[in-house]
Amino acid sequence: EGVRPGMSGSAVIAGHYNGKKTPRAVFYDLNTLNIGDEVVIMSAKRIETSDIVVKVESYDYDEVPTNVF
């Protein structure tokens, strides 16, 4: 569901915060982002796109958000 990063619209990106084998995974510093910050995304084909943070929300670990898409 949703659009890919770099396309028009809101993109949702999944990743990990940390783990047993990766103590500082891709989203480790996610909590430092603020509205207006630029996020640069590199695709598997090494193409960079950037987006601006327009909203920040947090969810409990076991909560399934229904409003993401």
The confidence score (pLDDT) of residue 24 equals 87
Question: Which residue matches tokens 């670990």?
Answer: 61
The confidence score (pLDDT) of residue 1 equals 62
The whole-angstrom separation of Cα 15 and Cα 42 is 13
The whole-angstrom separation of Cα 48 and Cα 65 is 28
pLDDT digits (tens, 9 = 90+) for 6-58: 778 777 777 888 888 888 888 888 889 999 999 898 888 898 988 888 888 88
The confidence score (pLDDT) of residue 34 equals 95
Q: 1, 7 in Cβ contact below 8 A?
A: no
Instruction: Specify the 3-state DSSP secondary structure of 15.
Output: coil
Higher pLDDT, 5 or 63: 63
Measured torsion, CA atoms of residues 2, 35, 32, 22, in degrees rounded to the nearest 10: 10
* Banded pLDDT at 69 (limits 50, 70, 90): low
